[in-house]
Amino acid sequence: MHALHLASVTAVLKYRLENGLVECGIPGAIGGDVIVSTLPPDRIAGTADERAQLNLFLYQAAPQTGLTGNGWRRGEGNDRMPLAPPLSLELYYLLSAYGAHDYQPEILLGYALQWLHQMPVLGAPAVRAALEACAETGTGRGLPRALVEPTLKALETYPIEMRLALQFLSLEETSKLWSALQTRYRPSLIYKVSLAPAKAGEPV
């Protein structure tokens, strides 16, 4: 796992959600702009005129079970030392919806649920394309290209796909999570993202 894979996974998911908002016509449906952020929930101020917003927050990383290094293609990092297979992790994201008007949070969360359900697996080409787009925004809010390049290079040796799985927490688990975040509960979903070797023969 390259050092930037955590930020890269978050950036890819954010990019996909932002593009899905436009493709699904959500801004027009709710009568205004919608933003996608990746902030800790306590950084989002809850006010009477809060913006329509989806927030994607990486709150936990855990070792990935059931995946060995044998699934990864080996390559040479330099003349002396082979590259080790990427560190396998499962990343847990809290996806929350905000809005100042009736039904806005429900509409946004329903959109996200449907959109992510339609893309449970992002293959290596989709991951690379999203990273390229994130590095080329020129807005100062994307991933710096100088930092994205090493990740793209690492993906040439160890191409990955991203697998998304919706998780369901009990009421007690949900309460504990939001208490730990020290902020008010908002309508939300939990997603587990696993990084796995790209399928043999898949373009990279």
Average pLDDT, the chain: 81
Q: Could you identify the residue written with the tokens 């697996």?
A: 121
> Cα(150)–Cα(10) distance, rounded to whole angstroms?
17
Q: Is the pLDDT of residue 131 over 90?
A: no
Of the listed ranges 47-51, 74-78, 84-88, the least confidently predicted one is 74-78
Q: For residue 98, what pLDDT band results from cuts at 50, 70 and 90?
A: very high
Instruction: Flag whether 204 is in a domain.
Output: no
Phi-psi region of 138 (alpha: psi -120 to 50; beta: other; left: phi over 0): left
Domain range enclosing 83: 5-197
> Cα(120)–Cα(114) distance, rounded to whole angstroms?
11
User: What contacts 24+ positions apart, CB below 8 Å, involve 137-145?
Assistant: 142/11, 143/4, 143/7, 143/8, 143/11
Instruction: Flag whether 149 is in a domain.
Output: yes
The string of pLDDT tens digits covering residues 20-58 is 888 888 888 887 888 999 999 998 876 667 888 999 999
Helices (H) and strands (E) in the chain, counts: 6, 6
Question: What was the pLDDT predicted at 3?
Answer: 53
Mean pLDDT value across residues 82-94: 73
Cβ atoms 48, 168 nearer than 8 A: no
> Cα(76)–Cα(157) distance, rounded to whole angstroms?
8
Work out how many domains the chain is built from and give that number: 1
Q: Is the pLDDT of residue 169 over 80?
A: yes
Of the listed ranges 5-14, 159-168, 172-181, the least confidently predicted one is 5-14
Question: What was the pLDDT predicted at 164?
Answer: 94
Residue 117, C-beta contacts closer than 8 angstroms, at least 6 positions apart: 166
Instruction: Flag whether 203 is in a domain.
Output: no
> Cα(203)–Cα(128) distance, rounded to whole angstroms?
11
Residue 34, C-beta contacts closer than 8 angstroms, at least 6 positions apart: 21, 26, 27, 51, 52, 53, 54, 108
Q: Which is nearest to 88 in space by CA: 179, 201, 197, 191?
A: 197
